[in-house]
Amino acid sequence: MKFGGSSLANATRIKNAARIVQRFLPENKMVVVASAMNDTTDRLVEIGELARKGENARARKMTARAASTKKTRRELLNLIDRLNRDLEKTVEGISHLRELTPRSRDYLLSFGERLSAPILAATIRSLGLKTRALTGAEAGITSDERFGEANPLVEVSYHEIRRRLGPLLARNEIPVVTGFIAASVDGSITTIGRGGSDYTASLLGAALNTDEIWIWTDVDGLMTADPRIVKDARVLPTVSFGEALELSFFGAKMMHPRGVQPAAQRKIPVRIRNSSKPTLEGTLVSSGETQNGGRIVKAVSIIRSVGIVTVSGTGMIGSPGAAAKVFMALGSNNVNVMMISQGSSEATISCVVARKDVDNAVRALQLALLGQGLVDKVVAEKDTCIIAVVGSGMKGTPGVAARIFGAVARKKINVRIVAQGSSEYNVSFVVSEEEGPEAVRSIHEEFQLGNY
């Protein structure tokens, strides 16, 4: 069971999570994964930025807020005190050097989960159950050193997870593991990407070959669209792994992009449920056939905060290897490309990247490509978002794209870039950030996703 930040947002929510564990324990053995409380990780990100800029007083003030807790038992209090002091020292170090490296940033971000997991474990213990709080590293999750987006070394991790958690489970102890964080082989703390607690849960489930993986969150399940954007969005009772993969990758916030991957590989069903309404079944993500009521499109999601970087030059026309040079320049500067388009004129290549990477991408492309007769211009746009339309019923059905773009056009929304994944589960396109929500609503309406 993984509890998301909103399910651990305060003392009441944490007690509620503990009671959910208690409720399902009699007929199960389980491993619990804890996210950081509420938006702690966002605040740690801010604190890091403040410290890097040398805004010590503000950083310190926020640090105190990030770590404040109510009265708890002595042992837990001591641990929280220790973590708080360590956190303060970390922030001080960053502001002293005015340097926030990917490594120190991961160390800083790890405090969210390192605080929440022991608190949740203690709360479960107070209900009379045996628990043990563990960091991702203590649970056996080992990763490479790509700080910020570290990749778990799957086979080693699976082996270590079984070795370390197996004996606890055999003694009926409930391991409560920090989501989101792992450690490199030499023991440095790494994080596995924002929203990574889903991924942690999936890895642990796959390693231990659990019957199911449950993700407790603040909505009734995976829905046809973000309920904050579409009022009549509806819960999907079943979703295939393929669809979940497309949705979570493009849905950005709902789930970690690789969140279901380990579960999908081992065909372990994933349930997404509302921690405020534990009697609801939620959404079942599995390798089985999904009921879609003959519907073509299943859901539509939005990924915000992306930008477009376009390189153009007549020199690229008919020049083999031009695209390779573009992607090489981006890849070697650690810029992840989310979408690509090249027109058949071959005179331009556009790449969609995260907004935070746009400046870096432009610089990398200018340095690598200008002045060689290939590329004349590199331009960027920053205020865009991706809309992804997902559904396994789209495969081989003609006319879906026409309906999608017809609906968007009727709202007078300009489409910048289009891509269809070869899985045929997904048509995605880019519009201005401002028009994104309206584009989502127009597609939701066109395919009547709100109706049963």
What is the Cα–Cα distance from 25 to 131, expressed in whole angstroms? Answer: 12
Residue of 382, 379, 326 lying closest to 353 (CA atoms) = 382
Helix (H) or strand (E) holding 2: strand 2-3
Residue type, 364: A
Q: How far is CA 43 from CA 93, 96, 111, 217, in A?
A: 18, 20, 11, 20
DSSP annotation string for 202-236: HHHHHHHT-S-EEEEESSSSSBSS-TTT-TT--B-
Of 136, 179, 195, 437, the residue at the interface with Mg ion (CB under 5 A) is 195
Binding mask 293-322 for ligand ADP (x = CB under 6 A): ------x-x---------------------
- Does residue number 282 form part of the binding site for ligand ASP (CB under 6 A)? no
Q: Is 196 in the site for ligand ASP (CB under 6 A)?
A: yes
Q: Which stretch binds ligand ASP (CB under 6 A): 87-95, 145-153, 191-199, 327-335?
A: 191-199
Which contacts (CB < 8 Å, 24+ apart) does range 236-239 have? 236/283, 236/298, 236/299, 237/281, 237/283, 237/284, 237/291, 238/283, 238/284, 238/285, 238/286, 238/288, 238/290, 238/291, 239/283, 239/284, 239/285, 239/290, 239/298
Backbone angles phi, psi at 347, to 5 degrees: -85, -10
DSSP 315: G
Task: Choose the stretch contacting Mg ion; rule: CB under 5 A; options: 3-11, 108-116, 239-247, 320-328.
Answer: 3-11
CA-CA distance, 113 to 305, in Å (whole number)? 25
Residue 217 binds ligand ADP, judged by CB under 6 A: yes
Stretch that binds ligand ASP, among 49-57, 163-171, 193-201, 229-237 (CB under 6 A): 193-201
- In this complex, which beta carbon is closest to ligand ASP, that of residue 5 or of residue 307? 5
Question: Between 13 and 164, whose beta carbon lies closer to ligand ADP?
Answer: 13
| Residue closer to ligand ASP, measured from CB, 119 or 400 | 119
261 binds ligand ASP (CB under 6 A): no
β-bridge partners, 299: 390
Binding test (CB under 6 A) with ligand ADP, winner from 5, 242, 262, 282 = 5
| Tokens matching residue 401 | 């794209």
Residue 122's binding partner among ligand ASP, Mg ion, ligand ADP, none (Cβ under 5 to 8 angstroms by kind) is none
Residues in 108-147 at the binding interface with ligand ASP, rule: CB under 6 A = 112
Q: How far is the CB of 179 from ligand ADP (least distance, A)?
A: 9
Q: Is 29 in the site for ligand ASP (CB under 6 A)?
A: no
Of 149, 179, 224, which is closest to residue 388 (Cα–Cα)? 224
Among ligand ADP, Mg ion, ligand ASP, none, the one that 218 touches (CB under a kind-dependent 5 to 8 A) is ligand ADP
- Three-class secondary structure of residue 102 per DSSP: helix
The residue with tokens 């990924």 is: 303
Q: Does 117 bind ligand ADP (CB under 6 A)?
A: no
Query: Both tokens of residue 143?
Result: 């990763």
Instruction: Report what 182 binds from Mg ion, ligand ADP, ligand ASP, none; CB cut-off 5-8 Å by kind.
Output: none
Question: Which one of 86-94, 169-177, 217-225, 413-421 is the stretch in contact with ligand ADP (CB under 6 A)?
Answer: 217-225
Strands 32-34 and 2-3: what pairing?
parallel
Q: Residues 236-255: x/- map of binding to ligand ADP (CB under 6 A)?
A: ---------------x-xx-
List the one residue out of 6, 112, 104, 86 whose CA is nearest residue 49: 104
Closer residue to ligand ADP in complex, CB, 174/299: 299
Of 168-176, 213-221, 314-322, 353-361, the segment contacting ligand ADP by CB under 6 A is 213-221
Is 190 an interacting residue with respect to ligand ASP (CB under 6 A)? no
* Segment lying near ligand ASP (by CB under 6 A), choices 59-67, 137-145, 190-198, 430-438: 190-198
Closest CA to 388 of 436, 342, 351, 452: 436
From the list 85-93, 98-106, 168-176, 195-203, the region that binds Mg ion by CB under 5 A is 195-203
Contact residues for ligand ADP (CB under 6 A)? 4-7, 35, 195, 217-219, 222-223, 225-228, 251, 253-254, 299, 301
Contact residues for Mg ion (CB under 5 A)? 4, 195
